[in-house]
Chain A
C-alpha cells in the first residue's frame, strides 16, 4: 500500500478529445476533473486511479501499477465498469448524465455532463443548516424523483450524502457518484468493497442482519434532510444501534418546520428498515402534497401503512 496521494493530470493536458482544466475532487478510487471538449463544453471526467494500488508522481501521466497490485487494480476496474454500466442505463434529469467512457493512459475515464452549481454539502455549510422548508421539499422531491428512477432499474445508490447531491443554479438536484451503486438483487456474496459514509449510511450497511434495499437509500435521504436542518450529519447508525442519542427531528425543530416534514425525516431515519417508507415514490408524494404541511402526520402515515411512532 502507498500512503501518498497520486498526482492529478496537469492543467491543459489533452486527454483524448478533452482538455483538462483542473481537479474537482479526489477520492480513494478516482480523481474527478473539470475539462472541456473540442466545442469548449465543460464536462466532468472521472479517472479510475485507486490510491492504494497505483502510483503517479508529479510530472507523470501513466500511472504505475506494481505487479503485486495488478489483481487488485483489475478488480477495482471491474467495479468501475459496473458504475459505468449502472449510470448509462439511466436517463433522468436528476441523475448525472454519462457522455462518454474511454480508455487512455492504461486506465479508464468516465465523462459526465458538468453543470454550474454547488453540492448540497457546500450549501448546508454556507447556511449552517436551517435551510428553508419550501426549498427542501422541492429539492428533495427532485432527489427522490431521480432515486425512484435508480431503484426502478434495480439499482441501489448506497452512498447518498450531501456531497453527492449537486444543486444546479435553479436549485434542481442531480444525484452524483454511483461508485458504490449495486444492483439491488446482487446481494449475497461478501461485499468486495464496502463503502459507506458515517451519519448517512443505514444500519444495515454496517452489518448483514437486514437485506439492503430501497429503504437503505431512504435512510440516507432522511439523514440528508436532517443534516439540512442541523448543519451536519446525524449520529452514525452503528452508534445509534448501541446508544441512540439522535434527537428526533420533531423534538428538535418542532416550532420551525411543519410537523409533516419533520415526521417524514424521523420516519426515514428509523433503525428498523421495515419501519421506514419503503419506496422513493411514496416518500416523494408526501413531500409534494400539502405544501402547507399543516395536516397531522397521521393521514399520510396511515396511507403509507407505516406505524405512527
Chain B
C-alpha cells in the first residue's frame, strides 16, 4: 500500500488540548482516528485519549494484517471505546451529568477501499480530484442540533455556521446515553484521493478552504498551513484544532525510484546491491552543493 499521512494537533487559545489523533498501519490496513474531548465535561481529554487508545488497541488485536470486516470492526471498536469511557467514569465516581465525553471519527482503508464511523461533529472529508480542477467532495453529517435544523430546512447552512448552539452534539462516546454511531458505506479510492479527519476547531474556521487547499503537492506542508489559517481565522479564542490527512496512491505496476514518504521497514527483507546503490545515489543527490557529484 502506498500512501502519505500528515497529522497535527494544536491547542489554539485554550488552556489544554482535549483533541486527540492517531493512526496505525499494518501491511494491509490503515486506521485513522480523531477524537475531540468535550469542553464543559470533566476530563474531556481523558475521554478523547481513551477513545483513540481503545480503538487503536482493537486495531492492533484484529488487523493481522487485515481486518476481517472493516465496517464491523469500526462499529465494535467505537462501542468498546464508549464502554471504556463509561467504565472509567464509574470507577472515578464521576456524576453522570458531568461524565467525560468525546466525539470520535475513525476510518479504515483496506483493499483500496475506505469506510468510516463517527459520533458527534468531528468530520471526515473525502476529496476526489478528477484532474479538471473541480474536486468532488463529501463529508460526514454532523450529529449536531444545528445540523438537524439545517436538514429540516429551519435554518440555512450560513446561519448554522454562526448559530449559538453550533457546538451542541446529540451523539458522542461516554455519558449516559448510548451513542448514535453512524457507519459509512464502503467507498473505493482512486489514485490521489484525499481523506481528512478533523475536529470542529479545524473545519469550522476553514470552511471551503479546507477542501480547496488540502491537496497541495505535499500534505506535510498543507496540513500545518491549513491549521495556521484556521488559527488565524478563529482568533485568540480558537478552539483546539486537529487535522489528519491521508493521500491514497493506487498501486503502481512499476516500483518507483523514490521510496514513499511513509515507507516503513517491517521485517528484514533482503537488500540487493542495486537497492544499496540507489539509496546512496539518492542521498548524494540530496546533498546541497555536493562537491562530489551525483553518483559514482
* Interface: B25 (CB within 8 A): yes
The residue in chain A whose Cβ has the minimal distance to the Cβ of B290 is A100
Distance (Å) between the CB of A235 and the closest chain B CB? 24
Contact with B along A167-198 (1 / 0, CB 8 A): 00000000000000001011111001000000
* B190 adjacent to chain A (CB < 8 Å): no
Chain B positions within 8 Å of A213 at CB level: 9
Contact with B along A76-112 (1 / 0, CB 8 A): 0111010011001101000000111111000010000
In whole angstroms, what is the CA distance A72 to B265 when docked? 12
Secondary structure dominating the interface of A: mixed
| Interface presence of B21 (CB below 8 A) | yes
Contact residue range for chain B? Answer: 35 or more
Against B, the Cβ 8 Å flags (1 = close, 0 = not) of A272-301 are: 001100100000000000000000000000
A126 interface hit (Cβ, 8 Å): no
Partner of A88, one of B9, B14, B271, B283: B283
Answer yes or no: B22 CB below 8 A from chain A CBs. yes
> Within 8 Å of chain B (Cβ to Cβ): is A240?
no
A75 within 8 A of B: yes
Q: Among B132-140, B197-205, B274-282, which stretch is in contact with chain A? A: B274-282
Q: Which residues of A have CB within 8 Å of B291?
A: 99
A211 lies within 8 A of chain B by Cβ: yes
| Cross-chain contact A84 with B283 (CB below 8 angstroms) | yes
Query: Min CB distance, B182 to chain A, in Å?
Result: 25
With a cutoff of 8 Å between Cβ atoms, the chain A residues found around residue B252 in the complex are: none
For chain A, give the interface size range.
Answer: 35 or more
Tell me the complex Cα distance, A71–B16, Å: 45
B11-40 residues with Cβ-Cβ distance < 8 A to A are 11-17, 21-26
Known: A74-B270, A189-B264. A274 touches B45 (CB 8 A): yes
C-alpha spacing A76/B7, complex, angstroms: 27
- Please determine whether A305 and B11 come into contact, CB atoms closer than 8 angstroms: yes
A211: B residues at CB distance < 8 A: 21-22
Contact call A305/B287, Cβ cutoff below 8 A: no
Cβ of A306 under 8 Å from chain B: yes
> Inside 8 A of B287's CB, which chain A residues have their CB?
88, 98-101
**A58 CB, nearest partner CB in chain B, Å:** 27
Q: Which of A78, A98, A185, A278: most chain B Cβ within 10 A?
A: A185
Considering the complex, give the chain A residue whose CB is closest to the CB of B6: A185
Please report which residues of chain B, range 205-262, place their CB below 8 angstroms from some CB of chain A when the two chains form the complex.
220, 261-262
Contact between chains at A278 and B10 (CB < 8 Å): yes
Cβ-neighbour of A189 out of B6, B11, B266 (below 8 A): B266
Contacts known (A72-B268, A84-B283, A186-B262); A91 close to B288, Cβ less than 8 A: yes
Give bound CA distance, A33 to B23, whole Å.
39
Known A-B contacts: A74-B268, A211-B22. Give 12 more (CB < 8 A): A78-B279, A102-B284, A153-B220, A154-B220, A186-B264, A187-B24, A210-B49, A275-B16, A278-B11, A305-B11, A305-B14, A307-B15
10 pairs of A and B residues whose beta carbons are closest in the complex:
A88-B286, A71-B268, A84-B283, A188-B24, A154-B220, A74-B271, A305-B11, A274-B17, A188-B25, A75-B268
The contact sample of 14 A-B pairs, CB cut-off 8 A, is A17-B292, A99-B287, A102-B292, A103-B276, A185-B5, A187-B23, A187-B24, A188-B24, A192-B265, A210-B49, A213-B9, A274-B17, A275-B16, A306-B11
Q: Please report A residues at the B interface, Cβ cutoff 8 Å.
A: 17, 70-72, 74-75, 77-79, 81, 84-85, 88-89, 91, 98-103, 108, 153-154, 183, 185-189, 192, 209-211, 213, 274-275, 278, 304-307
Contact residues of B with A, CB < 8 Å? Answer: 5-7, 9-17, 21-26, 45, 49, 53, 220, 261-262, 264-266, 268-271, 276-277, 279-280, 282-284, 286-288, 290-292, 296
